[in-house]
């Protein structure tokens, strides 16, 4: 695994934080990674994703219905989304005109979806399976201390 990924996982794991402060800390750590131009956590509340902690430009998308956009599709399909070029999606919710790629990794407490990590990149093809594997490990830490 990428040494930067390992360092972030260790930092988040060792932080002693939980709940929203942990999620905020984790998103701040992601800011140091290349191509992680916007990093946020959405909580799942009923059939709506609610923006929790994030780092990056302001977004109007603070509430996203399940099934809409990349974030809503991840919950509706119950699977992570790795989108190489968001311009190829009909269902895309543009947070920024600069966004070209996106990765969404579900945060699970057992079989229940608690929320998701959403990352936007300004380059086509910013994210791959290695990023997904890293974010799944981060999601596990967040889930274990969700509150």
Q: Which domain holds residue 20?
A: 3-144
Q: How many CB atoms lie within 10 A of CB 4?
A: 14
**CATH for 83:** 3.30.450.40
Distances (CA, A) of 116 to 3, 7, 33, 88, 101: 23, 21, 18, 22, 16
Alpha carbons within 13 A on the beta-carbon side of 25: 19
Q: How many domains does the chain have?
A: 1
pTM comes to 0.94
Tens digit of pLDDT for each residue in 101-124?
999 999 999 999 999 999 999 999
End-to-end CA distance of the chain: 28
Question: 43-96 pLDDT, tens per residue?
Answer: 999 999 999 999 999 988 999 999 999 999 999 999 999 999 887 766 666 666
Q: Where are the beta strands (DSSP E) in the chain?
A: 38-45, 48-55, 63-65, 81-83, 101-109, 112-121
């Amino acid at each position: 695994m990428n040494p930067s990924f390992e360092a972030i996982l260790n930092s988040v794991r060792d932080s002693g934080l939980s709940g929203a402060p942990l999620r905020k800390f984790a998103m701040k750590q992601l800011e140091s990674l290349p191509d992680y131009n916007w990093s946020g956590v959405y909580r799942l509340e009923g059939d709506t994703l609610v923006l929790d902690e994030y780092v990056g430009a302001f977004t109007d998308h603070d509430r996203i219905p399940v099934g809409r956009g990349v974030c809503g599709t991840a919950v509706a399909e119950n699977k992570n989304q790795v989108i190489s070029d968001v311009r190829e999606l009909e269902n895309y919710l543009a947070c920024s005109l600069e966004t070209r790629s996106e990765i969404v990794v579900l945060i699970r407490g057992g079989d229940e979806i608690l929320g998701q990590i959403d990352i936007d990149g300004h380059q086509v093809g910013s994210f791959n399976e290695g990023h997904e594997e890293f974010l799944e490990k981060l999601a596990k830490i967040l889930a274990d201390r969700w509150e």
